[in-house]
Amino acid sequence: MPQHFDAVVIGTGQGGSPLAARLATSGRKTAVIERGAFGGTCVNVGCTPTKSYVASARVAHVARHAAAYGVQVAGEVSVDLAQVKARKDRIIGESRSGVEKWLRGTENLTVFQGHARFTGAHALSISGPDGQIVDELEASEIFINTGTRAVVPPLDGLERIRYYTNSTLLELTDLPEHLAIVGGSYIALEFAQIFRRFGSRVTVIVRGERVLAREDADFALAVQKVLAREGIEFRFGAQPQHVEPLDGERVRIAFGGDEPAVDASHLLFATGRKPNTDDLGLDHAGLAVNGHGMIPVDGELRTRVPGIWAIGDVNGRGAFTHTSYDDYQIVAANLFDGGQRSADTRIMAYAVFVDPPLARVGLSEAEVRASGRAALIATMPMSRVGRARERGETDGFMKVLADAQTKQILGAAILGIEGDEAIHTFIDIMTAGAPYPTLQYAMHIHPTISELVPTLLDRLAPLK
């Protein structure tokens, strides 16, 4: 007979884990199902490991430029990738075990390990590694938090070569001699800078004519300039046609026509992600996915089937750890606290963790122009920021856009040192719904990056 629960959470990512604990402490008999490592993408192959690599790469970069600060570093700076990986693994292990210990220690919460599939709208089976069903559950409330995985394009010759995704590249212990990266977005650029700073030769292969195609061109080109200055090579307008093995484990990426091939020791695909929805038995629950494999939800993150929610990357409402956690907060507020929160009113914000980081909230300049509304705009180079000059890191600039009538901030972006922290001044004021003079007249601490935000707002002028 199936085991009955009040609520079941599928997946222990950044939304699923706290939701499972909150459901259990609310008095619901709750189950959480995890088929892989506890903590989801962020802890295991996303934010935590990559940002530990970013930190190691920055230390190497700063050490190589120590003389500019009057600090002498004897000998050549080199990176031991095995030690970098070991540090990363320790950090992951602490986070992963922390999540598992938390969930297993939560009263009224039962942890199952295995692959969950719907057998009905409110029924699930759990299978082990051999595919055999080991448990069956029933619940009136089911929450899907199964995340996404890397996409590898179906290139001719792929089965004959060794290639990597963001997760498998993190398992290397020997530094690539030449890393080729297919893709020009966030993951691609973060890995490009990491491994270039580690000491690898890096070539980024971009289908379009610039990196970060979704960002305003001025920010994208500024990021590209920083990376190129560090020695990263770019191939634009290049679409790989097939791949083939060379001597040893080297690989050739060919483009067809007269476009010269790229020969590399390692090949990374950073070409997007797809949701883990194709093996959940969604049809048995009466659920369907959209053209991208996402599960459609309303503002409260409910699916079209009563009693089933989808949170995190799998619902298409945001592909970030913080949006997944915010999904949890929305569901929790509405279920337990009498709230009326909705993802429909969420202001999107994110960062690209290259160095310096690019952080953005709200609308881009291109989106504001497309809207046709009367708007104000201001920009300021990071070279005007005292803290940036003192740190010797003046790359980048700030930009803000505001509605000319309501004085509401429409969007802002910062490319520059600590921009991923300073952007929160804009996030908070936009979330509060306050007009820009509230921030413009605030007294900020000197010397900081954020202290130039009021000065930036002083520069607002009509967008032409």
List the catalytic residues.
Answer: 446
Judge contact between 319 and 353, C-beta under 8 A: no
The beta-strand segments (E) located in 347-433 are 349-352, 358-362, 375-381, 397-403, 409-415
Judge contact between 442 and 450, C-beta under 8 A: no
b (16+ CB within 10 A) / e for 250-271: bbbbbbeeeeebbbbbbbbbbb
Q: Supply φ then ψ for residue 421, to 5 degrees.
A: -95, -45
Judge contact between 144 and 136, C-beta under 8 A: no
Torsion angle of the four alpha carbons 423, 427, 433, 437, in this order, in degrees rounded to the nearest 10: -10
CA 114 to chain centre: 26
Report CA torsion sign: 280, 283, 286, 289: positive
Sequence-distant (6+) residues with CB within 8 A of 310 are: 143, 144, 145, 295, 297, 301, 303
Please state, in angstroms and rounded to a whole number, the distance separating the CA atoms of residues 276 and 268: 21
Please state, in angstroms and rounded to a whole number, the distance separating the CA atoms of residues 44 and 170: 10
Determine whether 430 is exposed, middle or buried from the number of CB atoms within 10 Å of its CB (0-12, 13-18, 19+): buried
Report CA torsion sign: 421, 422, 424, 427: negative
Judge contact between 170 and 88, C-beta under 8 A: yes
Q: Is residue 113 classed as helix, strand or coil in its secondary structure?
A: strand
Report CA torsion sign: 235, 238, 240, 244: negative
**Which residue(s) pair with 435 in the sheet?**
408
Judge contact between 416 and 395, C-beta under 8 A: yes
Q: What is the DSSP code string of 304-338?
A: SSTTEEE-GGGGTS--SHHHHHHHHHHHHHHHHS-
Please state, in angstroms and rounded to a whole number, the distance separating the CA atoms of residues 175 and 60: 14
Judge contact between 111 and 104, C-beta under 8 A: yes
